[in-house]
Structure 1
């Protein structure tokens, strides 16, 4: 049986700290993309306004555009980050509409914005952890007989697949040349959006 991949804050932080700012931001945005549909479903069920429903989609689009153009208005992004922060649904409200991972989606997108604003790798780590913890909770809630067995939870294909995706993304970001960044960033974005359709 192959060795299980484990989510390690320390190992992830060490790898992220060796990346450039733009690569840290891309990794965090990739994580946030995967959870975004949970917020879209929540917004539809809660009958949010179109501006609120698209808030995190627009925020992530802004992150990707800023990484691509390497040009942005700091004050505008600070305002957007604050708007995203205050719009994150509480766990109670998210569960009320049967979309418990809407909170994780909003938080992950906010962390991606903060990564762009600060270049702090902790924001990318927290975005990745949101994805991991959402999947961990999903497995506990939907798979019979795993509630008290951490090994079975970790070994579940949904979790191992995601940890493998994160590892692969980091490996690509570690290896790419500066000339290859633009193409890689585009491919990682497409990959994350595709992943979001089947992450749960």
Structure 2
């Protein structure tokens, strides 16, 4: 069984990687979160995924070592922040997951602004938190159950997410600067796998 997610361990591993590799790792986490946002959007008629898609596309462009200005990043951040739903206004299972998707993408935009790799760790943490909540809700877990955290960790969806994270770290660390072919393959697989969290 995969070990539980650790911010400190992930930060240590990411710190050994180049910025474009760190960013690519964060981007695949976000790709897998977008379907939860789209599901939420369809359920409640909330806004549009387009600003998030635009921002994530810009992140992938940045992975190819193409410069995005601070002004452009600021505009993308502003648009993305407006996409975040309030948990007080919606009861959908995917409300928190929709928030997590927005916050994860914003974290990567912040990383492009300040270079703080902890932002990429935050994006990965949001990805784990989304799966955590979905597992709790689907399995109707009692928050008072002392074994709840162990059950969440052992759940197939969480194990799948942790395994993918480890695989993505290894693959991202091998991507050479400006290697569009490798980045496209990395991105395409993430998009192909992303629906599994929603539909499982």
1:92 aligns with one of 88, 93, 96: 88
Q: Aligned pair 1:114/2:106, yes or no? A: no
Gaps (5+ residues) in structure 1? none
Partner of 1:11: 9
After the TM superposition, which residues 1-200 of structure 1 pair with which residues of structure 2 at under 5 Å, given as runs?
3-48=1-46, 52-68=48-64, 70-93=66-89, 95-100=90-95, 101-144=97-140, 147=143, 148=145, 149=147, 150-174=149-173, 176=174, 178=176, 181-200=179-198
Q: TM-score, normalised by structure 2?
A: 0.86
CA distance in 1, matches of 2:156, 2:165: 14
Deviation at 1:46, TM superposition (A): 3.8
Contact 1:89 1:106 in 2 (8 A): no
CA distance in 2, matches of 1:18, 1:82: 31
Q: Tell me how far 1:63 sits from its aligned partner.
A: 1.1
Give the TM-score, by structure 1 length.
0.86
User: What's the CA shift for 1:78?
Assistant: 1.5
Gapped runs of 5+ residues in structure 2?
Answer: none
Q: Distance in 2 between matches of 1:54 and 1:179?
A: 28
- Calculate the aligned-residue CA RMSD, in Å: 2.1
Q: Indicate if the aligned counterparts of 2:2 and 2:163 stay in contact, CA closer than 8 A.
A: no
How many residues were matched structurally?
194
Contact 2:40 2:98 in 1 (8 A): yes
* Higher normalized helix content (fraction of residues): 1
